[in-house]
């Protein structure tokens, strides 16, 4: 019986994931999922009864009667996503399709107390709660341990069990991941199979990168891949918060503080070009406060250094990209996909 329950859950997730891409017939679901038509009919029956799918018209497919179309009911379930950035907390509400329906933003101290941070999260979440809420995702500045939800970059404090604190306070399932990882998850959801080998460069209070390699999010052995801002850009460069000197983030920030936008974007451009040569990706997505404040300058700075046929663009999700991606991590669990 336990194995049967697992199989039902997995099959339901497979069918839901396929329905997320648009209206489909039962026959198309069987063909694309590898399930038998009988199994698909049982799964669809359950999902329709649960309000997750709805019949939506018909389609002529040649000889025989028209096929009934099935559509995801996006408003049948919801997820919340949060971004904890230095100086700001942002929370968004998404539906089952991943579309952002609502948002709330509040300032944070530069070094927030964990209890105060969780209290602000509870306050912003409260107006968006619904009985159809699946859980809360949190995108947090690294380094952190994604597996345990432990934050290691919350000021001078020892490891903070952020996931456990938030789950107790909210009474909801919580997943915690790096902000750069949730951001690349958001882009992957938005663009689907088009995006298989890509980097998302987040330029904000620091500089980091989310990695999508072979269609899968890459977190690394300690779930801290993507500390891009702490690679060396200038051997005799300015000191960095990490204790080293000449890091990409430190060199970029020095130029930005001096008002030299051309130099700041050039630093990012050179570093991104090196990253593309190292990983051989074909998509670069730019995001973060600094990029959104001067999008054309950062686009030009990166494109000018690129010597390979790489698509370079700016996320259309703007300020919501990290928080929306955190919500999509929760949705990924519901769809049976790995976080």
pLDDT tens column, 17-27:
888 878 889 99
Q: With beta carbons less than 8 A apart as the criterion, state whether 246 and 228 touch.
A: no
Dist. CA 209–CA 322, nearest whole Å: 12
Res 197: pLDDT:
96
Res 43: pLDDT:
92
Alpha helical stretches, state H, 50-127: 114-125
pLDDT tens column, 154-209:
666 678 899 999 999 999 999 999 999 999 999 998 888 788 999 999 998 889 99
Q: With beta carbons less than 8 A apart as the criterion, state whether 166 and 177 touch.
A: no
What confidence tier does 333 reach under pLDDT thresholds 50, 70, 90? confident
Res 8: pLDDT:
60
Percent of the chain with pLDDT over 70: 94
Res 253: pLDDT:
95
For range 210-225, the mean pLDDT:
90
Q: With beta carbons less than 8 A apart as the criterion, state whether 227 and 234 touch.
A: no
For range 245-267, the mean pLDDT:
96
The neighbour count for residue 280, using CB atoms within 10 Å, is 10
pTM over 0.85? The answer is yes
pLDDT tens column, 41-72:
999 999 999 999 999 888 876 666 788 899 99
Handedness of CA 254, 259, 265, 270 (dihedral sign): negative
């Amino acid at each position: 019986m336990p194995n049967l329950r697992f199989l039902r859950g997995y099959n339901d997730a497979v069918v839901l994931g396929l329905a997320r891409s648009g209206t489909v017939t039962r026959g198309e679901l069987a063909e694309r999922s590898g399930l038998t038509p009988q199994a698909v009919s049982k799964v669809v029956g359950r999902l329709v009864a649960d309000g997750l799918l709805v019949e939506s018209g018909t389609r002529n497919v040649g000889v025989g009667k028209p096929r009934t179309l099935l559509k995801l009911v996006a408003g049948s379930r919801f997820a919340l996503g949060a971004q904890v950035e230095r100086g700001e907390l942002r929370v968004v509400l998404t539906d089952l399709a991943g579309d952002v329906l609502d948002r709330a933003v509040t300032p944070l101290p530069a070094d927030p107390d964990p209890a105060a941070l969780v209290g602000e999260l509870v306050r912003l979440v409260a107006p968006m709660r619904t009985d159809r809420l699946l859980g809360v995702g949190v995108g947090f500045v690294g380094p952190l341990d994604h597996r345990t939800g432990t934050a290691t970059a919350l000021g001078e404090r020892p490891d903070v069990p952020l996931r456990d604190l938030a789950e107790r306070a909210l009474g909801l399932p919580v997943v915690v991941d790096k902000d750069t990882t949730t951001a690349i998850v958001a882009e992957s959801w938005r663009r689907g199979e088009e995006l298989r080998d890509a980097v998302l460069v987040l330029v904000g209070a620091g500089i980091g990168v989310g990695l999508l390699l072979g269609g899968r999010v890459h977190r690394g052995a300690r779930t801290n891949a993507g500390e891009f801002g702490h690679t060396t850009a200038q051997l005799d460069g300015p000191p960095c918060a990490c204790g080293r000197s000449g890091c990409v983030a430190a060199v970029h920030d020095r130029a930005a503080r001096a008002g030299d936008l051309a130099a700041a974007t050039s630093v990012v451009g050179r570093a991104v070009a090196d990253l593309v040569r190292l990983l051989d990706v074909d998509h670069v997505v730019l995001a973060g406060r600094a990029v959104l404040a001067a999008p054309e300058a950062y686009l030009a700075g990166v494109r000018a250094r690129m010597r390979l046929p790489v698509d370079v663009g700016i996320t259309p999700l703007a300020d919501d990209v990290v928080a929306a991606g955190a919500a999509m991590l929760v949705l990924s669990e519901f769809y049976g996909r790995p976080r």
